């Protein structure tokens, strides 16, 4: 095939009835792509600026990632928290097919404890000290009067205080958000309290969340569109045609959203017409 033959076929194609609609369609697709790209870039810039502002004020920002990354974060949290792992397994047993849509690990950091000061223990008959009733977690028994410890036998035992003034404690919370196949949203998690100082670091208490003692609320998700119906109207130099139109629910194909609409009808002079339209969103 020579260059002259290609040019001849090209000129014939430009005179075909489908050339102008194809050209308009390509122009519309290019314009939609440019508008969506600009809108996405602007939205990303606003989100990044907002996240940076929140982090500068020491606020917890939710990282947005792919589903596999969120599931990996949930597995990492469960691997280091037996209470969370047990609750996650229980939730998936109760609601089969639930998928992870969010994971978070929060901490207060080391905070000073209040209350009575920690006395200088242990005492001994050689170095008597005063018995002080401490109002702290773990203290047992009634208050005892102050006074020197008798030389023998040494019966005074210091209460096992968990935290006293000058100590530092921390609270950590790990949680995972699940979406059920029917649309239910579940939150499972566990909280633990730790003594940071004096060392060694020790877990004081903790456990999983309980629905009877907890509550959660969120805005309802936007419902995905289903089947739609409308009216098809077609016009041409031969007349007009009208009839029903049907739109299929949007679906994902090769990473983009596809919407399809079809219509058919009868009209003037007994003509009939049909149409099919496909829209692509990204």
* pLDDT tens per residue across span 194-220: 989 888 888 989 999 988 888 888 877
The pLDDT value given to residue 13: 67
Average pLDDT over residues 63-90: 91
Q: Name residue, tokens 């969103």.
A: 281
* pLDDT tens per residue across span 225-248: 889 999 988 887 778 888 899 999
Average pLDDT over residues 59-77: 88
Residue 186 pLDDT > 50? yes
Q: What's the pLDDT band for 25 if we cut at 50, 70, 90?
A: confident
Say if pTM beats, i.e. exceeds, 0.85.
Answer: no
Secondary structure in 3-state letters for 10-70: HHHHHCCCCHHHHHHHHHHHHHHHHHHHHHHHHHHHHHHHHHHHHHHCCCCCCCCCCHHHH
């Amino acid at each position: 095939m020579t260059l002259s033959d290609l040019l001849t076929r090209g000129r014939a194609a430009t005179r075909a009835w489908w050339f102008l609609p194809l050209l308009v369609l390509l122009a519309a697709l290019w314009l939609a792509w440019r508008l969506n790209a600009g809108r996405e870039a602007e939205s990303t810039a606003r989100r990044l600026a907002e996240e940076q502002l929140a982090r500068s004020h020491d606020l917890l920002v939710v990282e947005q990632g792919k589903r596999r990354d969120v599931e990996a974060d949930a597995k990492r949290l469960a691997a280091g928290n037996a209470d969370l792992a047990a609750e996650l397994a229980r939730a998936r047993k109760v609601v089969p097919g639930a998928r992870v849509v969010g994971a978070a690990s929060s901490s207060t950091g080391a905070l000073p404890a209040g209350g009575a000061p920690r006395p200088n223990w242990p005492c001994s008959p050689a170095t008597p000290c005063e018995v002080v009733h401490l109002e702290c977690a773990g203290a047992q028994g009634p208050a005892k009067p102050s006074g020197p410890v008798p030389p023998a036998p040494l019966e005074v035992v210091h209460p096992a205080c968990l935290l006293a003034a000058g100590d530092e404690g921390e609270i950590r919370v790990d949680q995972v958000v699940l979406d059920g196949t029917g649309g239910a949203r579940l939150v499972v998690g566990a909280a633990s309290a730790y003594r940071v100082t004096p060392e060694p670091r020790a877990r004081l208490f903790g456990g999983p969340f309980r629905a009877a003692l907890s509550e959660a609320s969120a805005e309802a998700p936007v419902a995905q569109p289903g089947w739609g119906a409308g009216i098809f109207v077609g016009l041409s130099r031969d007349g007009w045609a009208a009839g029903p139109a049907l739109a299929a629910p949007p679906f994902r194909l090769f990473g983009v959203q596809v919407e399809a609409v079809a219509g058919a009808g009868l009209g003037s002079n007994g003509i009939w017409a049909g149409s099919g339209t496909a829209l692509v969103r990204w």
